A and B are shown apart, each in its own frame.
Chain A
C-alpha cells in the first residue's frame, strides 16, 4: 500500500476523512518512493525511458507548482541564456535533483549548437 506525499497511508484517504477536513492537497499527491517503485515496474516491462521519466518526476515532487511551470518555461526555445541554464542546472543539482539538472545541462548544450538560447 502506498503512502501519499504527506506520508499519510492511502488507506486513510476516505470520504470520511475528507468530510472531517483531514485531507489536504499533499494527501493526494504521489510520493517519490512510489514513483521509484513505478520506475522499477517500467524497467521490468521493457521501457527504461519511462523509468527515467518517473525518476525525474520523483525529483520534481519536491518542487512547487510554480517552480515546475517556471522550469518548463526556462526550457522553451530562446527563453534562457547559457548562463541562466547553467545556473538552473546548478540549482537543481544543489536541491537533490541530479537527473533534472542533467536534462537542463544537455538542453543548454544543444540549444547553444542550434541557436535556441536567448
Chain B
C-alpha cells in the first residue's frame, strides 16, 4: 500500500502549475530543446560556387529544405569567415554592444542552420535579452492582436477590432471557426480597424489558397499563415514544399501585400516527424529557409507548439532563442507569446517578460485582444483578461510593449462607430441587415456570450456574396464613404494605396498613425549600449505612464469632498477634562475639513458614532477634539489622553487607523492599535470604544485583534494612503492648539 503524501505535498499538488504537463527529455521524439545528440555538426563545403556539403550531409543526400537553403540561403562570400568563427566568439558578437548589428547580420548570412543554432544555444537568458535588444530589425517595438469570436459575428468583430486599434495594436489577425465565413470576417475586421485608428494592418488566417485569394482582393493587408517546418516529411504533410512557399511569398508581394512565414518549435514533435533533432536546430532550418525564399519576416517562438517546448528543460529559453535567430538573419520577428503555454500565471508571465523587456518587432504574434473563450486560435498567452496587466507591466518597467490605455468613453464611441459602419456597409453592399438591438448588444458586449443572437446563416450568406461578387477593398471604402463614414473610408483607401508604394513590403514594416512606414529601412534599430537605441518619445512615454486607473491627490480630494457633511463643527479651543469617566477622542487635522471617508469605506462620522456608542456602553463620557499640530496617530492619541479626565484617549486618523492611548505612556506606545484601516468594521470600532471605556475604569479588557488578510492590501491602498496623508498634512499646523468639535 502506498502512503498518501503529506498535507504539504497534497496542497502543492493542487496548485495551478501542476495542471501543466512536464516531459522528460526524449531526443528520439524530438523532445529536447537546445541540443540533441542527433543534431549534425555544422559544416559547409563549397566547390566552384556550389554547396556540396551542408551540416554533415553530402549534396546527393540533401532533402528539399537542404537543397533550397544551400542554393539560396547562404551568403557564400562570407561563409568561409563565418563558419570558421568559434561559436563562443560568435555568441559574444551577438551580445557585445560595441559590435554593430550590421556586422552580426553580415556574418550570420554565411552561417549554416546548424552553425547558427550552436551559437544561439550558448546565449544565457540575459544574453538573449541583450541580443534581442540589439538585433531586432525595427527600432520601435510593436504588438499584434487576435480579433475573433465564437460566432463570427461581424458587429462584434468590428467593435473588437476598433477596440484593439484603440489600445495600440498595429496588426490585427482574425480567423474563423467556419472556414466559409472568412471573407465576412476580413471585411468586418478591416472596417473596425479603420474606425479604431489609421494604418492598422489586418489579416485573416485561413488555409493557404483562401488566404491568398482574400489578399489579392485587398480584403486583408498582410498574411502570416504561411507555415514552414524543419523536416521534409512534416513539410510535405503540410501539403507544401520550399518552392511552393517561395511562389506564395512572391504572389503576395506581386499585389503589394505584406507577408511573413510562420514556424516554431513543437510542430515537428506533434507530427511525430522531428527525426530526433532538437527544437532549436529544426527551427534554425526554418529560419534559414524563410530567409532563403525571400520572406521579410518570421512568426516563431513556439506558436501552436509553445507548450510542447515549455514541457522540456530549457524549453522557454529555446522559444526566445528562436526569435533571436530570426533577428540575426535580418528578418522581422513576430515573437510568439501567442498560444497559452501554461495554466500558471507565473509561468506564462515568465515566458513573456524577457521579450517584453528587450523589445521585439511584434512582442506577441497574437495577443488575444478578445476574451479567452472567443479566441478562435485558442486562448493566447495574453488575452483581454490581461490587457490592464500588460499596461501595468509596461508602466512598471518603463518599456514600450506596444499598447496604450483607452478611456471608457473612447472605447464606447469607437465600438458604436464600428458597428454602425458595419451595418451601413453590409446594407449598402447587400450583405445583410442588423437590428438596433444587435448593434447595442455588440457595443456593450465583453464577449460573444453577451450578444443578442447572431444569425449564422446570414454571416455565411454575407461571406458568399463578398466572394461571389468579387468585392474588394475599394468597394468597402466606397460604401463607407457613401454612408457617411468618411474617416474610415479614407483609412481603408489609404491602406489600399499603400500597396502601390510598397514601402511596407520591406522588413519589419508597420504604419504609424500618420501613415508613415516604420521598418528596417526607415526606422532601423541602432542599439549600441546605454543611451542609444529605442527610447519612447515624450508623448509615447506619457501613453505608457498614464493608465486610466492612476490617481493623484486632486482625484482623492474630489472623492473625499463628495462625502462632506456639517456634522462636525469647531466650538472652541480644547480644555482639560476633570471627570474620571471622561475619554477624549482625538481626530487628525484633516477630519471635518478635507477627509470624510476612511479606507474601509466607512464614513468618519459613522466611525465616530461607533466609538461614542462603545464608550456609552461602558458608562463613560466622551469628547471629540481635533489635534491640529500633528498627523502622527500616536501623538494624536496621546494629546487626547492628556486632555481626558480619565487619562485615556482614542486617536483616530481620517483614513481610519485608530488606537487607545494613556497619558503616562511614551508617544510611540499604546494600549491597543488598529493598524489595518482598510479591513476595519463598524463592530470593531465599537469594541475599541468599549475597551477604551474599560481602560478608563481601570479594567484590563481583552484587546481586539487586527483582522488578518492574505490579499495585497497595501498594493490596493497605499496610493490612497499617500494622498490622504497629503490632505491631512495640508491641514496640520504645528503652532495650532487642539480644538473642541461638536458632533450631532
Knowing A25-B474, A34-B500, A114-B232, say if A49 contacts B73 (CB, 8 Å).
yes
B500 and A31 contacting across the interface, CB-CB below 8 Å:
yes
Indicate if A96 sits at the interface (CB-CB under 8 A): no
Instruction: For A110, list chain B residues within 8 Å (CB).
Output: 64, 67-68, 241, 243
The answer to whether residues A54 and B505 also contact, given A28-B473, A60-B251 and a CB cut-off of 8 A, is yes
Given the interface pairs A10-B500, A100-B250, the reply to whether A49 lies near B241 with Cβ below 8 Å is: no
User: Is there an interface contact between B256 and A29, defined as CB atoms closer than 8 Å?
Assistant: yes
Taking a contact as CB atoms under 8 Å apart, the answer to whether B247 and A63 are in contact is no
CB distance from A55 to the nearest CB of B (A): 9
Also in contact, A72 and B499, with CB within 8 A (given A15-B489, A18-B481): no
B209: Cβ under 8 A from any A Cβ: yes
SS of B interface (majority): helix
Determine which residue in A5, A48, A68 has the highest number of CB atoms from chain B within 10 A of its CB, and name it: A68
Q: Which of B68-111 contact A (CB under 8 A)?
A: 68, 71-73, 75, 102, 105-106, 109
Question: Which of B249, B292, B500 counts the most chain A CB atoms within 10 A?
Answer: B500
Contact residues in B for A56 (Cβ distance below 8 Å)? 246-247, 250, 253, 294
Query: 1/0 per residue A35-77: CB within 8 Å of B?
Result: 1011001100111111111101111110101001101110111
Are B64 and A114 in contact, with the CB atoms below 8 A? Answer: yes
Query: Are B254 and A57 in touch, CB under 8 angstroms?
Result: yes
Check if A94 is an interface residue, CB within 8 A of chain B. no
Q: In this assembly, does A116 line the interface, its C-beta being within 8 Å of a C-beta of chain B?
A: yes
Say yes or no: is B293 at the interface (Cβ < 8 Å to chain A): yes
Chain B nearest CB, measured from A54 CB (Å): 6
Interface residue B244 (Cβ < 8 Å from any Cβ of A) = yes
A50 with B296: CB separation less than 8 A = yes
Residues of A within 8 A of B672 (CB): none
B478 contacts A by Cβ under 8 Å: yes
Contact present for B255 and A72 (CB under 8 Å): no
Q: Quick one: which of B109, B212, B253, B474 contacts A23, CB cutoff 8 A?
A: B474
A57/B507 in contact, CB under 8 A:
no
The docked-state distance in angstroms from the alpha carbon of A2 to that of B502 is 9
What's the Cα separation between A52 and B250 when bound, in Å? 9
A45 touches B506 (CB 8 A): yes
Q: Chain A interface mostly helix, strand, loop or mixed? A: helix
A30 at the interface (CB under 8 A from B): yes
Whether A18 and B296, one on each chain, are in contact in the complex, defined by CB atoms closer than 8 angstroms, is no
Contacts of B331 in A (CB 8 A): 47
Q: How far is B64's CA from A9's CA once the two chains are assembled, in angstroms?
A: 42
Chain B stretch 485-508: residues in CB contact (< 8 A) with chain A: 486, 489-490, 493, 496-497, 499-503, 505-507
Indicate whether A75 sits within 8 Å of B247 (C-beta atoms), given known contacts A111-B241, A116-B236.
yes
CB distance from B481 to the nearest CB of A (A): 6
A13 touches B497 (CB 8 A): yes
- CB–CB B247/A103 < 8 A: yes
Report Cα–Cα, A117/B333, bound state, in Å: 34
Chain B, 230-249, contact with A by CB distance < 8 Å: what is the 0/1 string? 00100010011101101111
Contact surface of B with A, Cβ cutoff 8 Å: 63-64, 67-68, 71-73, 75, 102, 105-106, 109, 208-209, 212-213, 216-218, 232, 236, 239-241, 243-244, 246-256, 291-296, 330-331, 472-474, 477-478, 481-482, 486, 489-490, 493, 496-497, 499-503, 505-507, 520-521
Known: A30-B254, A45-B520, A61-B254. 15 other contacts (CB 8 A): A18-B493, A23-B474, A24-B474, A29-B256, A30-B499, A30-B501, A35-B502, A46-B102, A47-B291, A47-B331, A49-B294, A75-B244, A76-B239, A76-B241, A76-B244
